Every structure is written in structure tokens, then in C-alpha cells.
Structure 1
Amino acid sequence: MKKKGLLQRCLLAPFSLLYGAVVTTRNFLFDIGILPSETYPIPIICVGNISVGGTGKTPHVEYIIKLLQDDYRIAVLTRGYKRKSKGLVVATENSTVEEIGDEPLQIKLKYPKIQLVVDGNRRRAMDYLMSLKEDERPELVIMDDGFQHRYVKPSYSVLLIDINRPIVADYLLPLGNLRERASARYRANMIIVTKKPKTFQPIDLVLFERCLDLYKYQHLYFSGIEYQEPRPILSLRAKEPMRPTIELNKRSKVIAVSGIAVPTPFIEYLKETYSYVDSRCFSDHHNFSRKELTELNEYYHSLKMVVTDELYFICTEKDAVRLSALKDYIDEELLQHFYYLPITITLDNKEEEFKTLIRQAADASLPTLQ
């Protein structure tokens, strides 16, 4: 296995060097102004990463929305990964996953009052927002997954790093998982190291901070995942608040269903909290087919013949957004036993400091890094 790994690295290394040369040249052209970065007269907070795979962008965007929504008209810009539509799409509560993507729809359903614009061309999306009437124009824009999209210059950048995948120990694509060199972290005003496990000790955090070797004016935080009580997937699009008809407890038998980049923490939590039975894992942003839903129906009923206790399927919130739109293909009994697990983030003892910085960024009272 080690020889095979070494051979693969040797084969991929030239492509990684070529990719790095292209990315470095592109960033240099932006830095010297040959490629233009457009600025706008409203605060733009960018939340992004420099690695592929899940770093927790959506829950962090939601955290910022929740913090600021009562004081600002907020717009969220996102590209709508894996959507089937083209160009600029303005989201509504009736939008579909196919039109805007699963994560944007999750945000829109949770925060219906915000404006949400989907477009891979962030400058075009910003121009659209700036063309709105003054009383409709947002007072703050949150640019989701926009760290590499430098044609729009954010007034404040938040970079997310998965604690399980330190960028300083990683390589550029395709050899590693980095979209940009690790030195790109110095463009960020704030770095949040995400998915911090409860077992992490203070000394571990100090060592991680030393590895990042940030400038003194950059702010560093560590965030963890906090799971909420399971909710019925039918409640996602319910017009009226819908409480669970069944309260799960530690004896409840559960099956994990996930279509996310890194399902391990989700599955581990279920194992710790409930009487875990099995899991069905799919690729990130997976679009469930009718055949797969039929198989889930059959799997549920086959297990019911063996497991005498109540049996539940639990998926992630992102999966629930996709599955709730396909409820007509899910067996009625299974549908009543299909729940999702919402998550929020925690910032330990620095939460108030973080909130102060984000509010200052929303007020455009913090300097922009050059």
C-alpha cells in the first residue's frame, strides 16, 4: 500500500505543480490589478475555504445570518453547487434543489426574509443587488464560498479550516485537497478552525495556532458542532410549525442516511446518542433517485421484520432538503419515521468577541486587507 501511495504521489506531483503555477499567477494578476477586483459601497462578508470537501460553510453562514438578521437587510450570494439551472436565480421559498442547490435552499427555508441570489458570476449577482430600489437593496452581503472568486472584493473575509485537515500539512490539487497554497490564509481577516472535537485539549489548540503562524492582526477562533434535537423531514416545508410526533430516546433504533462530504462526525454522534443500527452513505450533494428511495423503503421494511422496537431513519439537514422534495416516493410509514438532525456551531469562550468583530464588519468599521 505504501509503494502504491508513493507511486500515485509521484504521478500526481507534476500536475499539482502545474495547478499551483496557474493559481499563483492568477492571484498575482489580481494583486497587481491586471485582473480587476470590483468593490461595492456596502459591506461584503466572505465565508470560504481553500480546500475541497466540507469545512462547515453553511452552518457558519447561518450563524452570521442569525446574529445580524434583526439589524440588517441581508443578501446571501452563492453559486448553488450542483444545481441544474443556469445563470442568475433569485431564490424564493418555493425554489427547488434543482433550481438553486441544496445548501442555498436550506438557508432560504430557515431564513425566508433574507435575499438569496444564486450565480457563479458573483460580480453579476452584486450588480443585480445594487440595481434594486433603495428600500429593497441589501445593507449587508454574505458571500458564501467566495474566497477564490476575487472579481468581487469583500470588505471582510472569514476563512474556514477543518481541524482534521490542517492546510499547512496539505498539498495542492490533485496531489492534495488545497485549491490554493496554504499561504492564501494571509488574505483572510479571520480564520475559524472548524469541527473541533470535545477531546481537544488547550495545548492542542496552542500547537495548531502555532502551525498556522498568523499575523497579529488576524483573528483566530475554534468552532465545534452542536447537534440539536431530531425533527421530522416533513417539517422543513410545513406552513405551520410542526413538532415531532415521536420523541427519540437512547433506546431508539436509528439508521443514518447521509449525502455529505464528511459523514463521520454525524454517524459517531448517532452511535453515542441512540441505539445505532446501520448507515447508508452517499456522495456529497447526492441526488437521490427513485430507485434508491425504493431501496430505502424495502430496507426499512426488511429491518422491521427483525427489529421489534421502533425504527427511525435520521439524515443530515442538507439531505433532508433534498429528501423532503421527494416525499411522494417514500413509503408513508417510513416518512413518519424519517427525521433530520439540525446543527449549530459553538465558539467556546470567545463567542462575544467574535460577535463584536462580525458586527463591526457588518458596519464596515474594520479595515480591509490588501
Structure 2
Amino acid sequence: MWQYLNYLLYPFSLLYGLVLWIRNRLYDNGVLTSVEFDLPVIAVGNLSVGGTGKTPHVEYLIRLLKDQYRTATLSRGYNRNTKGFLLAGPQSTAADIGDEPMQFHRKFPDVTVCVGEERMLAVPQLLGEQPDIAVILLDDAFQHRSIKPGLNLMVTDYSRLFTRDHVVPFGRLREGRKGYHRANAIIVSKCPPGLSVQEKAAIVREIAPLPHQRVFFTTLQYGTPYPLLPGGPQQLPPGAAILVACGIARPEPMVQHLLQKHANVHLLAFPDHYYYARKDLDKMKQELEHLDGPQKVILTTEKDAVRLRLLEDQLQAMQLPVMVLPVEVSFLFEAAGSFNSYIFDYVAEAIAAGAEP
């Protein structure tokens, strides 16, 4: 029944898609203008509302660039309790700048992390305060067309390609499928590690990239869990019962990864970008106590970790055994070198162009 009721949303999707199509045409025809800057600007985003694995791809770019170029990330700062332009500092929290920027700030303290709703205004503010910035990474900016990035990277989930989706509310797309035309490169994320050459070719045909577009394929690589807070469990005990407590768009890949090595895995899901309260910690404790086995651990994501740290005192008092599971992306078909060269070539060309009189 719900499947049929969902079709009632289709007219609203058509209307919303039409509004976005008109907006994009206004930008394409120059009626609405986009600002360009004289330094490399790389945007990472997607067509869907979330869950494509965008954040680990931004982190990949940070690791790639930060040792050679003074790099900054600029995000909107979704769901923060502040407004305007802010630079992350020693006292910043997820509540101040948002969970994803806070994650970048904790993991890469040598990189400038800033937030601002109006990114067209935030870039000059950033450069005014730190004029030595050489590269700017725009996080989740594919639809933010007031800035024209030099390189537009679009991430799409292998299990829900944009080619098979629809505009919200009927589907999960933020705009029509043809928005992919603005991308310089398309990254198919969360692929199975053993993706075949034949399926790769089939996906490329389905996407139908334009002549100037590159298509890359990545998979998730989970690292070794580490304690959320000092004094927490230092390693994941063999045979432990695991409670996955997280607020991300799609926790399924994480759960499937854990089930490959652990038989006793349970999910306690919260809404995406969820800010935890004491009642949620009580819920975690209750769920953990219901699990079987002498060894029990709560496992969460790095994005959730920065939000959970807002309740550090309560976590310490409750002595909840919380560990964090890190994740990175890996390029399939030995394409990491090609992708890295693609990024470095763009950055070098953009810097050279910006230096011309």
C-alpha cells in the first residue's frame, strides 16, 4: 500500500524538479551569475540528499593535497547552532561548525577548516584572514552555483546510481539527473571491492559521460577501531557483541562490513546528522545490556564521534565502552594514480593561470 501511496508524491517531484531546472537554466544562460576565484577551487558534492560517501572523498583530497599546498575546506556547516563565517579553532565543537567540518578539523589540524552559509562571501573572508591559502575544497557544493569551481567532482552511490533515482520527494535527488552534466568527474562510490570490469563498463554506459568527463570507481576501506575517549576500550575484543550506534544516512555498508568478521552485530540507528542527548546514551546502555556475550562494545562513525564528544562528561560518568570505526576510500582498477594526476594537473594549471598578469 505504501508503495502506491508513494506515487502520489510524483507530481510534487515534477514541480520541484521544474523549479530547479529553471534555476539552473538561469545560471547556464548568465541571468544568474557565478563567481570565479583566481586559485584552485575543487567542489565535491552529489545529486542525492545524502549517503553517497562524500566525506571520505573530501578527506582523500585533503590527504592528497595538504603536504604540497596550503589547503582549506569550506562547508556550509549543516545543523550548527551558529551563523555566518567561522574558522575552526582549538575551542571549536560540532555544535559550532557542524559535524563534518569538525571531523576534518580533528583529523587534519594542519588544514584550515571554515564554514559559511553564503560561500560566495565566505571565500573572500577566508582569503582575507589567510591569504596564503593555495587550494580550497568546497564540501557539498554541487548545487551551490553562486561559486563556479574550477573542478566539480560528483559522487554517486553504486547501490543507488543517480541514473535510477528521482527528484525528491518521490526519490532522493536534489535536482534532475541531467545535473550531472556540470561535473568534470563522476565518482561511483561504495562499490564492492571485487567489481568486475564488465560491470564497470555497464555502469559507464548507463551514466553516459560527456566527452570531457572522467568516471572513477571507489570502495570503502574500514580501519582499526579506536577509543572515543581516553580510558575507553583499546581494541575490539574477538567475538564481542557489537552495538552499532550511529546517525548517518546509510549505515548498511558499515553493518555489512562488521558482519563479515563478527556474528553478533546490532544496529541502533538515529537520523542523519543527529545531535545526541542524555536519553540517547541511556538508550545505548539499555540496548547494550540486552546483547548476549561477556564482551560488549558500542561502535560508531567518526562523524558521530564529534557529536558524541559534546556529551563527554556524561559518557565518562556512564562508562560506556564506545569505539570509533574510521573509513577511507580506495580507488578500484588501479586508478588512484590517474585520479591523483588529474587533481594535481588541475591545481598546477589553475595556480599558473591565477599567477598570470
Matched, 1:325 2:323: no
Whether contact under 8 Å (2:40, 2:350) holds in the other structure is: no
User: How far off its partner does 1:119 sit?
Assistant: 0.9
2:298 is matched with 313
Q: Distance in 2 between matches of 1:301 and 1:172?
A: 41
Q: Cα distance, 1:58 vs. partner?
A: 1.0
Q: Is the 8 A contact 1:230 1:339 kept in 2?
A: yes
Q: Check whether the contact 1:44–1:140 (CA below 8 A) recurs between aligned residues.
A: yes
Q: Which residue of 1 aligns with 2:343?
A: 358
Q: How does 1:80-119 map to 2 (within 5 A)?
A: 80-119=77-116
Match of 2:329 in 1: 345
Whole-angstrom distance in 2 between the partners of 1:292 and 1:311: 18
Give me the TM-score of the superposition, normalised by structure 1: 0.90
Cα distance change on mapping 1:310 and 1:157 into 2, 3 Å = same
- In 2, are the aligned partners of 1:196 and 1:225 still within 8 Å (CA)? yes
CA distance in 2, matches of 1:185, 1:178: 11
Which residue is equivalent to 1:238? none
Query: Which runs of no fewer than 5 residues in structure 2 stay unpaired?
Result: none
Structure 2: how far apart are the matches of 1:267 and 1:103? 21
1:213 correspondence with 2:197: no
Partner residue of 1:38 out of 28, 35, 40: 35
Mapped pair 1:20 → 2:17: yes
Q: Which runs of 5+ in 1 are unaligned?
A: 236-241
Structure-2 separation of matches of 1:145 and 1:207 = 27
Which residue of structure 1 lines up, in the alignment, with residue 195 of structure 2? 200
Q: 1:287 corresponds to which residue? A: 275
Equivalent position of 2:70 in the other structure: 73
Amino acid aligned to 1:323: L
CA distance in 1, matches of 2:183, 2:308: 35
Residue aligning to 1:166: 161
Asked if 1:142 corresponds to 2:134, the answer is: no
Change (3 A) 1:157 1:367: farther
Determine the C-alpha separation between the residues in 2 that align with 1:299 and 1:22: 44
Rounded Cα–Cα distance in structure 2 between residues aligned with 1:277 and 1:68: 37
Note if contact 1:297-1:331 (Cα within 8 Å) is conserved in structure 2: no
Deviations 1:109-168 (A, max 9, x none): 00111111111101111110232354xx31000000011111011011100001111111
3-state SS, counterpart of residue 82 of structure 2: coil
Which portions of structure 1, spanning 4 or more consecutive aligned residues, are displaced by more than 6 angstroms?
Answer: none
1:140/1:366 Cα in 2 relative to 1: closer, same or farther (>3 Å)? closer
1:366 Cα deviation from its structure 2 partner: 10
Q: Is the 8 A contact 1:104 1:116 kept in 2?
A: yes
* Deviation at residue 296 of structure 1 after TM alignment: 2.1
RMSD across aligned C-alpha pairs, in angstroms?
Answer: 2.1
- Tell me the distance in 2 between the aligned counterparts of 1:229 and 1:262: 20
Give the secondary-structure state (helix, strand or coil) at the position aligned to 2:335: helix
Looking at structure 2, the residues matched to 275 and 17 of structure 1 have their Cα atoms a distance apart, in angstroms, of 44
Aligned to 2:284: 296
1:268 equivalenced with 2:256 (yes/no): yes
Q: Is the 8 A contact 1:297 1:330 kept in 2?
A: no
Q: Is the 8 A contact 1:256 1:270 kept in 2?
A: no
From the superposition, tell whether residues 302 and 54 of structure 1 become closer, same or farther in structure 2 (CA, over 3 Å): closer
Shift of 1:302: 5.3
**What is the aligned residue count?**
352
Q: What's the offset of the Cα at 1:248? A: 2.3
